[in-house]
Homo-oligomer: A and B are copies of this chain.
């Protein structure tokens, strides 16, 4: 283990809770947990022996080696006005905020960004999560790198622009794909068909995309230029926004692979 031993976690949402548990498992001392969510904080403190703080940023203990702020982006702006920890390393966990969003809190600041989606009552396999770190000094960056490397096998250093690109790609690959599954589920359930029948198809779709490539894995009526089917599908969709999405995707896919044939 590197120079960082005592860690304070600010924010007890899905990510904050997962970090507390995983850092605790990996032998770090959770020093203090700060959040207005009283119950969450109490149970996490019981688990780890950390001090509980119900959102009083003025009295945050000054003697942790690292402060990890895992709250919503808007709340980060609030926290940076209140939190003062001199020269202690403070990092945020957002893929979109500027690298120096916490500059006002300390002379040592940075980013500690796990590329993963966190939800209640789920613990993803931390070892496989890519962690992206960056800091205001090379000493801090090395310290952060060590903490991330204790959690995951995949740690990268990444400046702000790279992180923003990754976050944007992740929105398409995770948030939007999930919404497509929501639409599929609604289409099926309107007709009293169980959503779970799609599971093998979806699993194979994603395996294929990463084992071949999304280009080589593409199938379906739009790729084949099968307008009879795409027209039928359009007429089956009753919601305007679903139809708009269907038309946009079908057009993009048709164009993408029609061009390929011409090459």
Q: Is A118 part of the binding interface, using a Cβ–Cβ cutoff of 8 Å?
A: yes
Q: Is A47 part of the binding interface, using a Cβ–Cβ cutoff of 8 Å?
A: no
Question: Taking chain A's interface residues, is the majority helix, strand, or loop, or is none over half, making it mixed?
Answer: helix
Chain A contact patch, size range? 35 or more
B175 touches A223 (CB 8 A): yes
Measured CA separation A142–B36 after assembly (Å):
61
Asked whether A119 and B173 contact (CB < 8 A) given A200-B129, A200-B130, the answer is no
Q: Mark A157-197, 1 if CB is under 8 A from B, else 0.
A: 00001101110111111111111111111011001010111
Q: Is A37 part of the binding interface, using a Cβ–Cβ cutoff of 8 Å?
A: no
Q: Is A220 part of the binding interface, using a Cβ–Cβ cutoff of 8 Å?
A: yes
B122 touches A208 (CB 8 A): yes
B188 touches A219 (CB 8 A): no
Listed from nearest, the 9 A-B pairs whose CB atoms lie closest are A175-B220, A182-B214, A173-B184, A169-B184, A181-B214, A169-B187, A128-B200, A174-B205, A177-B177
Q: Is A244 part of the binding interface, using a Cβ–Cβ cutoff of 8 Å?
A: yes
Name the residue on B nearest A189 (C-beta).
B169
Stretch from A60-68, A79-87, A233-241 forming part of the interface with B: A233-241
Measured CA separation A29–B228 after assembly (Å):
35
16 A–B contact pairs at CB < 8 A? A130-B200, A166-B193, A166-B197, A168-B237, A170-B198, A171-B233, A173-B198, A174-B202, A175-B220, A175-B223, A175-B249, A176-B245, A177-B177, A179-B214, A179-B253, A248-B248
A206 touches B206 (CB 8 A): yes
Asked whether A177 and B174 contact (CB < 8 A) given A130-B197, A208-B122, A236-B164, the answer is no
B218 touches A179 (CB 8 A): yes
